[in-house]
Amino acid sequence: MATDLSWEDCDPWEAFLPRVAEALSAAARRAGAEIPAAELRGQLEWGNSEQADVAFPAHRLARTVGQDARELALRIARNVPSTVGVDRVESTGAFVNVTLDAERFIDRTLTIIRDRGARYGGGPARPGVSCIEHTSANPTGPFHIGRVRNAILGDTLARAARASGEKVVTQYYADDLGRQSAMITWIWSKPIDRWPEAIRAALPNGAEATEEKPDRRLGRPYPLVSQYVKNHPEAAEEVGRLVQDLEGGRAPPTHRQLAEEILRGMCASLRRLGIEFDEFVWESSLLADGSVEAVVQRLKAAPHAVREANGAWAIDASGYGLPKESPRIIFLRHDGTTLYTTRDVAYHLEKFRRFDRVVDVLGQDHRLHARTLDALLAEIGEGRRPEYLIYQDLVLPGGGRMSTRGGSAVWLDDLLDEAVKRARDEVRRRRTDLADDALDAIAQAVGAGAVRYHILRVAPDKPVQFRWEEALSFEGRAGPFLQYAYARAASILRKSGVARAVGRWTASDLLGVEERALVKILSRLPSLVAHAARSGQVHSLAGFAHDIADRFNRFYHAVPVLGSGDKEASRLALVEATYQTLGNTLDLIGVPRLETM
RNA sequence: GGGCGCGUGGCUUAGCUGGAUAUAGCACCGGGUUCCUAACCCGGCGGUCGGGGGUUCGAAUCCCCCCGCGCCCGCCA
């Protein structure tokens, strides 16, 4: 890999925007308005239509120099020096509209796509390593789809960050301490025939051993155990003792095995969505290696540490802007055991030691936890903080969250099974030529793509409405729409009979409106990836993928490629560039590519 | 009660640090297949951007108040 790559080698716009900014800055100076090119560049906007590729709203500048905005825009437009890559500059109202040299722009874009290939969309490699922690659901049972948004956001962010040039390690923080996992161990350490009747009732008539997925099989009694323990003090006491044992490092040998087995099943579900992890961090390991104890010592010595009457330790956090009702953050219980937040401090210190960027993907119910964690980090003099990507829950049509106990949970596996089944019916209807295994492969990809896209397309801070019909939609703004456009491009390339990366083209062959619009959308991938990787707003990539497919479909209907005579080679090159760019984008959002469907 | 988040056409949704006529999808209505995959395309209908004030040349975007929904306010995780 070339290490001396610059942004100009990666992003088509880099060859134009700095020059446009220079030219406009020079013109502004002649018009009596000083503004450095770099600052002006920050105010440039994408042209909103056919009338401009780049626009500069002159209002702000006009104000600072006390001129009339329309007047200034007009004078800037008139004073722009002839600039390589710029075709013409006009003013409309208070806007300075810049039209780029279309042939140069097309050349630049197609060249970069060809040269970068599978890496198109990314930027130069950057030093440092990022850690993205996501999912981290307790290993107590199967994923319901309320939890999967975290995994999809985190995984997509990891893909975007990786593409944009970061080295990324994804981590799953697995909780093998605490009551939840204790209850799993508590029930499974007894033979089934000695389970309380109320819990045994959860198991389908003696079929407990037949289900193959461990998360489902082992997690099944969990909701009932949780209920049972609430109403049976003697059971609660046993579970309580187990919690103590876990924290004291005296976990029964089956404990970790159970957790790992359930987690294995959960991860198998996520793998169907293309989600995998680089590392798993077990919470108990932070106790075992003494790092939690070290944090406790530092917290006890912190400026606002206080000892409660019963012996517990806390931080007086009234200075940290937390809700006034809970100005104290307990970090050590009266019995000397630690809390989740305390252990999380140890976890984050470890992350800061190893990584240059630390991102946590959290549900909105963890917002306060995040602020608490920040406060504790500040208390022990740690200067760094994690970045939080916080998302709202997935909600059901009637309102409300998905709950395992309330019976409103939809298991991820069931959703995927249903999606794949419907996709299979759909494929079978259209394709009579396919063998069963080819058909299955397409159905898997379509089903998984539909589900992943459905959840990814909404901005993280808005709730996702879950409806079966929409999650399983194969039309319009949906995963299969993208796959279909990609398959179409693939089909044209196959039929052209020429195997290559982006072939030769003549930019002047591609000056039609559809072609120019398509090139323009393709050119935006690098800046979008960079933005998504930085901000975590990965849903924008889902929208962008749709825009490419949409533009390509219009081009497809309006412009013949194969058999189009002397323009065929250029048009093929454009199809190849689309195929490459849309394919890269599908990889980024984790929707499987399909060469045929 | 307090804190945080959200509120855009019938439904779902885009809108980057305020900028030119507010995105798209679903649904609905009307068209398109002798032509590279119709899971597609073209046209139409539909919005006082929750309500009210304010800042500004300009507000869906920023500020304040109110209403609605969600989450949190544990020596749980």
For the stretch A184-224, pLDDT in tens is 999 999 988 899 988 887 776 655 556 679 998 899 888 88
Bridging pattern class, strands A167-174 and A279-282: parallel
Beta bridge partners of A316: A328
Structure token digits, residue A440: 């299955």
Judged against a pLDDT cut of 80, whether residue A35 lies above it is answered with yes
| Mean confidence (pLDDT) of chain A | 91
Q: Is the CB of A334 under 7 A from strand B?
A: yes
Query: How many Å does it take to go from CA A558 to C1' B30?
Result: 21
Give residues 92-121 of chain A lying near strand B (Cβ < 7 A). Answer: 92-95, 97
Query: How many Å does it take to go from CA A463 to C1' B52?
Result: 26
Q: Could you confirm whether domain A412-589 is CATH 3.90.105.10? A: no
The confidence score (pLDDT) of residue A209 equals 58
Q: Is the CB of A489 under 7 A from strand B?
A: no
Average pLDDT over residues A26-37: 93
pLDDT band at A467 (very low <50, low <70, confident <90, very high): confident
Tens of pLDDT, residue by residue over A275-308, are 999 999 999 999 999 999 999 999 999 999 999 9
Q: Is the CB of A17 under 7 A from strand B?
A: no
Could you tell me where in chain A the CATH 1.10.730.10 domains are found? Answer: 412-589
Topology of domain A129-395 in CATH is Rossmann fold (3.40.50)
Q: Is the CB of A392 under 7 A from strand B?
A: yes
Query: How many Å does it take to go from CA A314 to C1' B53?
Result: 44
Block residue for tokens 């630390």: A358
Tens of pLDDT, residue by residue over A394-427, are 887 666 677 766 666 788 999 999 999 999 999 9
Structure token digits, residue A257: 């095995």
Contact A529, A541 (CB under 8 A): yes
Q: Is the CB of A370 under 7 A from strand B?
A: no
Tens of pLDDT, residue by residue over A469-487, are 888 899 999 999 999 999 9
The confidence score (pLDDT) of residue A451 equals 95
Q: Is the CB of A50 under 7 A from strand B?
A: no
- pLDDT top residue among A268 and A211: A268
Backbone angles phi, psi at A312, to 5 degrees: -70, 160
Comparing C-alpha atoms, which of A71, A86, A89 is closest to residue A32?
A: A71
Contact A70, A105 (CB under 8 A): no
Query: How many Å does it take to go from CA A321 to C1' B54?
Result: 27
The confidence score (pLDDT) of residue A203 equals 75
What was the ipTM of the complex prediction?
0.95
Strand B positions within 7 A of protein Cβ atoms: 1-7, 12-17, 19-21, 24-27, 32, 35-42, 57-58, 69-77
The confidence score (pLDDT) of residue A407 equals 63
The confidence score (pLDDT) of residue A224 equals 87
Query: How many Å does it take to go from CA A396 to C1' B30?
Result: 35
Exposed, middle or buried, A445 (CB in 10 Å: 0-12/13-18/19+)? buried
Bridging pattern class, strands A167-174 and A129-133: parallel
Of A326-335, A340-349, A365-374, A486-495, the least confident: A326-335
Judged against a pLDDT cut of 70, whether residue A501 lies above it is answered with no
The confidence score (pLDDT) of residue A410 equals 84
Q: Is the CB of A497 under 7 A from strand B?
A: no
The confidence score (pLDDT) of residue A317 equals 87
Query: How many Å does it take to go from CA A472 to C1' B46?
Result: 26
The confidence score (pLDDT) of residue A521 equals 95
Q: Is the CB of A78 under 7 A from strand B?
A: no
Amino acid A317 reads: A
d(CA A301, CA A588): 45
Average pLDDT over residues A313-329: 79
Name A515's Cβ contacts closer than 8 Å, sequence gap at least 6.
A106, A555, A559, A571, A574
C1' of nucleotide B14: residue with nearest CA: A543
Q: How many CB atoms lie within 10 A of CB A571?
A: 23
Could you tell me where in chain A the CATH 3.40.50.620 domains are found? Answer: 129-395
Q: Is the CB of A284 under 7 A from strand B?
A: no
Q: Could you confirm whether domain A7-100 is CATH 1.10.8.60? A: no
Q: Is the CB of A561 under 7 A from strand B?
A: yes
Assign residue A139 a region: left if phi > 0, alpha if psi is -120 to 50, beta otherwise? beta
The confidence score (pLDDT) of residue A206 equals 55
C1' of nucleotide B6: residue with nearest CA: A462
Q: Is the CB of A318 under 7 A from strand B?
A: no
Using the CA of A575, give the nucleotide whose C1' is nearest: B36
- Percent of chain A whose predicted confidence (pLDDT) is above 70: 95
- Percent of chain A whose predicted confidence (pLDDT) is above 90: 76
Q: Is the CB of A438 under 7 A from strand B?
A: no
The confidence score (pLDDT) of residue A201 equals 79
Judged against a pLDDT cut of 90, whether residue A331 lies above it is answered with yes
Of A38-52, A132-146, A199-213, A245-259, the least confident: A199-213
Helix, strand, coil fractions of chain A, as percent rounded to 5: 55, 15, 30
Block residue for tokens 């996520």: A270
